[in-house]
Amino acid sequence: MKKQIISGILFLAFCSTSLIANAQMDNLANLSPEWIRSGARNSATDASDAVVYNPAGLHKLGNGVHLNIGNQSLFRKPTHTYDFGLGHGEKSYAQDGADLLLPNIYGAWVKNKWTVFTGVYVSGGGATMNYPNGSITTDLIGLQSVMAAGGAYADHKDAYLKASSMYLTGTIGVSYTFSPKYSFGIGIRHISASNTAETGISLTSSPMDLPDMPLALEMEESASGTAYTLSMNFSPSEKLNMSMRYESAVKLDFKTKQIKDDFGLTKDGDMNRRDLSSVYALGLSYYINDKIQLFTDYTFYAQENANWGETSWGSTVRSWSDMAGDAYTIAAGAKYQITPTFAASFGGGYTNFCYADKDAYYTKLGSFEVIYDNNVNLNSGFSIHATEKVDLNFGYMHAFWSDQTVKALSASPMDVDVKLKNSMDAIAIGAQIRF
């Protein structure tokens, strides 16, 4: 095995990690309990989570102050299985733990034709990758470390890998209603992003009777950036509503803080680019009658145009975003007003990853452990009109990924196929309050 190849791959793997609960590489789609219970919110006009989905449609809430608060809990179950062919047999590792807090708060003040809106939410990340017994990444690190020991150790044990990502986002903006049919909105959003990664192993089975040697790596990354959002809402009739939204890319240049590195894979102060890609979103909603409303969404994530840095393969330099390609989501949902105080929702969506080179992209830390691939989400839930000014929201979502096999290029020259399985459940609770 070529030590320099593995070393380079592992070094790059610990740069600009981003762990996503579902959907795309970096941009989250699940930004409110209302989305969890319906799956399609691009044309939303019934709650102030429209701050992030349809800012131009907020005026339909009516004059006054409107507040939306919520939280999601995520239960992810990614699993990867592989065999290095070194006599240890097939290994399988699974995610441990849950992400219980993914909060949001949105607010809008509507006064006739003008609306001022704001919000604080998590636009990317919001999850922790936790493999307390190790993963394919720690096995690769262990193999490299044993070779680097020059015969002093024959094996490794006690592996662990844990990483987290959080893109805390604040937004503020205004929208204006030109007529009963047309309204436009503009806003800015500021992202403060942070990533952490820590891993470790212990070298063991020394033929020289040396004591076991624990090795660890711990690092943090941080970046911030500001961008803008444009939106338009068009209501050709009382039953039909249409929306468009554009979010510009956010430049994020992550600075590395090295806390501990026994492997020599990181450097304190290194800068690693990982922009949050631009988003194009379309939505449509239609009232079949007074009780039933239908929704459809299309959202495009221009990942290929984002700057995610580059990686070297021999004499070839490749862009991470080019290897990833773009992604898009199509979704549909329905709301049924069963009684004046109780409404049920259901829906679902499909996300497609337009990979240019999936095997190469999966050399990035977290890819095998999180699993970025085509997925389907099924959504359901209900709302209760608790008082004249308060609506309560409850949602449940199940997402599943198609089983995949990806070539582990990080293990070259070994020929290793990694079998991937993944699913996720999410529960959400929130409230829409009017003042």
Residue 140 maps to which CATH number?
Answer: 2.40.160.60
* Per-residue pLDDT, 6: 42
What is the tens place of the pLDDT at every residue in 138-163? 999 898 899 889 999 999 999 999 99
pLDDT band at 174 (very low <50, low <70, confident <90, very high): very high
* Per-residue pLDDT, 205: 94
CA-based nearest residue to 269, from 19, 15, 5: 15
Which residues, 6 or more positions from 87, have their beta carbon under 8 angstroms from its beta carbon? Answer: none
* Per-residue pLDDT, 234: 98
Instruction: Measure the CA–CA gap between 55 and 252, rounded to whole angstroms.
Output: 24
What is the tens place of the pLDDT at every residue in 331-384? 999 999 999 999 999 999 999 999 999 999 998 877 899 999 999 999 999 999
% of the chain residues with pLDDT over 90: 83
Beta carbons of 263 and 145 less than 8 angstroms apart: yes
Whether residue 13 is predicted with pLDDT greater than 60 in this model: the reply is no
Whether residue 17 is predicted with pLDDT greater than 90 in this model: the reply is no
Domain count, the chain: 1
Helix (H, G, I), strand (E, B) or coil at 7: helix
* Per-residue pLDDT, 55: 98
Q: How is residue 154 written in tokens?
A: 């024959």
H helices, E strands: number in the chain: 7, 22
Beta carbons of 342 and 391 less than 8 angstroms apart: no
Burial 57-78 (b: 16+ CB within 10 A, else e): bbbbbeeeebbbbbbbebebbb
* Per-residue pLDDT, 190: 98
What is the tens place of the pLDDT at every residue in 393-435? 999 999 999 899 999 988 888 899 999 999 999 999 999 999 9
Least confident range from 1-5, 71-75, 208-212, 342-346: namely 1-5
Structural domain of 212:
3-434
What is the tens place of the pLDDT at every residue in 79-127? 999 999 887 789 999 999 899 999 999 999 999 999 999 999 999 988 8
Whether residue 4 is predicted with pLDDT greater than 50 in this model: the reply is no
Quickly list DSSP for 19-68. Answer: -BSSSSSSB-S--SHHHHHHS--TT--SSTTHHHH-GGGGGGG-SEEEEE
Tokens 């338009």 sit at which residue? 232
The mean pLDDT value of the chain amounts to 92
Q: How is residue 186 written in tokens?
A: 């503009």
